[in-house]
Copies of this chain bind each other. A is one copy, B any other.
Amino acid sequence: MKAKVYVTLKKSIADPQGFAIKGALNKMGYGKIEDVRIGKLIELDLGDVTKEEADEQLKTMCEKLLANTVIEQYEYEILV
């Protein structure tokens, strides 16, 4: 069972990395770019588990390890 987790900074949190990349893209000539935000993509092979187990495990993994829920939010999708 495979899954993808998307961890991003909460909207209220400044993203200096995204800001720096926006500046670089603007210099490359993409002046219309209004915002760039950087997050993490985590691809997991959960092994031999059911969809229900995968759902439960992913929630706990995100809450405990993969996301810092003080400043980050997360989403995940289970790939059948």
Contacts and interface: CB of A to CB of B under 8 A. Distances in A.
Determine which residue in A6, A44, A61 has the highest number of CB atoms from chain B within 10 A of its CB, and name it.
A44
Interface of A: 6-8, 18, 21, 24-25, 28, 30, 32-49, 57, 61, 64-66
Q: Kindly report how many copies of this chain are found in the complex they form together.
A: 2
Chain A interface mostly:
mixed
A32 B6 contact: no
B21 A34 contact: no
25 contacts: A8-B41, A8-B43, A18-B42, A21-B42, A21-B65, A21-B66, A25-B65, A28-B61, A28-B64, A30-B57, A32-B48, A32-B49, A33-B44, A33-B45, A33-B47, A34-B47, A35-B43, A35-B45, A37-B42, A37-B44, A38-B40, A39-B42, A40-B40, A40-B41, A41-B41
